[in-house]
Amino acid sequence: MGWLRNLAVVLVVSGVSCQDDDDELSQEKKLCQDKSAGELFRLKAGKDACRDVIQCTAAGLQAIRCPPGLAFDLEKQTCDWKWAVKNCDKLTKEKKVKPLLVTDEPLCEDNKLACGDAICIQKELFCDGKKDCNDGSDENSCDIDTDPNRAPPCDKEICKLPDCFCSEDGTSVPGDLCPENDKCVRVPQMVMVTFDDAINNNNIDLYKEIFNKQRRNPNGCDIKATFFVSHKYTNYSAVEDMHRLGHEIAAHSITHNDDETFWTEASVEDWAKEMAGSRLIIEKFGNITDNSVVGTRAPYLRVGGNRQFKMMEEQSFLYDSSITAALRNPPLWPYTMYFKMPHRCHGNLQNCPTRSHAVWEIVMNELDRREDPTIDEELAGCAMVDSCSNILNGDQFYNFLTHNFYRHFDQNRAPLGLFYHAAWLKNNPEYLDAFLYWVDEVLEQHPEVYFVTMTQVIQWIQNPVSTDSAKNF
């Protein structure tokens, strides 16, 4: 209540101030004059007031309070667990000085750009992860649209298969199998099932039930999945068995560090230790000797920006699958990172790569979680299946799978990603039954559907063949 009284005082002072002197900014305007649109900030610092923030709106100040047990993170601009919020002692999020990239008259000679204090430095020093300007402004304008060294837009005259694939909006089908990107009857519908984290006695039985050697693709081969393996609790004999059965093993880090900001801010060396180190352990203890561990997924899907992708180039990884794309129709195809990403960087405080990298991105298209898409209002999508919190029973899950399958199948047939943590299916037998029923139904009814690994998806994109030829691919 004390905080509400403070807010009331602010509003009263605002009225008196305007009456006394029209030239003076009101208290409310002073509070709002340096805030960006929609920015939330505190009136009072300290742990006791960490739930409470206000926002400047056209109607005046609006008070917002996080639910019990949560606190407001100024940098993330959202409520989070109390233990995760480190800025309760601050009133506003950090203001960052911007470089002078666009000016009426040039401030610098060729190949140099101006810091926020008008001092010129080499262009390539901008957005390289190190603060070279005195005010640090060279690292403060580094998103996909403002990085001075950003990758160029897609150029299909330069970007040619098999080494490069891009399209302006990311929805184009590889090759000439579907020029209109709609009703692509000649394009196989690939489904990518993935599981994150450890493979061990807690989930081996689940994998045996799903991949029972009875469920087969139209070419007679068993259905396949990709496993992003983290080191902790992993049974490497089980990893060896999954690899021997033809499933793909990929790197998901050694430590799975619980601090999400670690992954956002990790150096090239940190990423190499985690991912190349993970691959080394998998190969040694999982007895994988065919150089097939070529993919990565960042823990918590916290993308590491240019530093992560520079590491992947240096360590000869083929692809990443950590970047999510907001729910859209039609969905996106995987792409190479030589050119600009065909979608915005989606997610709170995500650090997406902006520069050109010789790496594939198997983008995580968000799934539509509406129960009835024809009448329900629009909802934000979900990338991991187990993060779709509105799925409450097996029937709902079956309908969810069916709707999202046809959202891909009836449009541009971009690969459908079903990304799981094994515990979600293990702890909910009803969901597992619905999933297996759906898989069996799809395989029975659709001879153009293949459950494949992520590397197999890239191999198909590099050499696209029609559904008629896919059986011999």
Residue 212, judged by CB atoms within 10 A of its CB (0-12, 13-18, 19+), counts as: exposed
Q: What are phi and psi of 67, to 5 degrees?
A: -60, 160
Give the model's pLDDT for residue 25: 52
Give the model's pLDDT for residue 15: 43
Cα-based distances in Å from 136 to 100, 125, 140, 304: 12, 11, 7, 20
- 72-84 confidence digits (pLDDT tens): 999 888 898 888 8
Instruction: Report the relative pairing of strands 40-41 and 52-57 from DSSP bridges.
Output: antiparallel
**Alpha-carbon dihedral of residues 198, 326, 160, 124, nearest 10 degrees?**
-90
Give the model's pLDDT for residue 16: 42
Is the separation of the CB atoms in 123 and 112 below 8 Å?
A: yes
- 100-128 confidence digits (pLDDT tens): 998 889 999 999 999 999 999 999 999 98
Give the model's pLDDT for residue 4: 37
| Model confidence, pTM | 0.84
Give the DSSP per-residue string, 393-448.
Answer: SHHHHHHHHHHHHHHHHTTT-PPEEEEEEHHHHHT-HHHHHHHHHHHHHHHHH-TT
Which residues, in sequence order, are bridge partners of residue 371? Answer: none
Taking the CA of residue 164 as centre, how many other CA atoms within 13 Å lie in the half-sphere pointing to its CB? 17
Give the model's pLDDT for residue 194: 98
**Alpha-carbon dihedral of residues 29, 34, 37, 41, nearest 10 degrees?**
-90
Instruction: Report the relative pairing of strands 335-336 and 360-361 from DSSP bridges.
Output: antiparallel
Spell out, as residue ranges, where the chain has pLDDT lower than 50. 1-24
Cα–Cα distance for residue pair 153/321, rounded to 1 Å: 21
Which residues, in sequence order, are bridge partners of residue 73? Answer: 78
Give the model's pLDDT for residue 416: 98
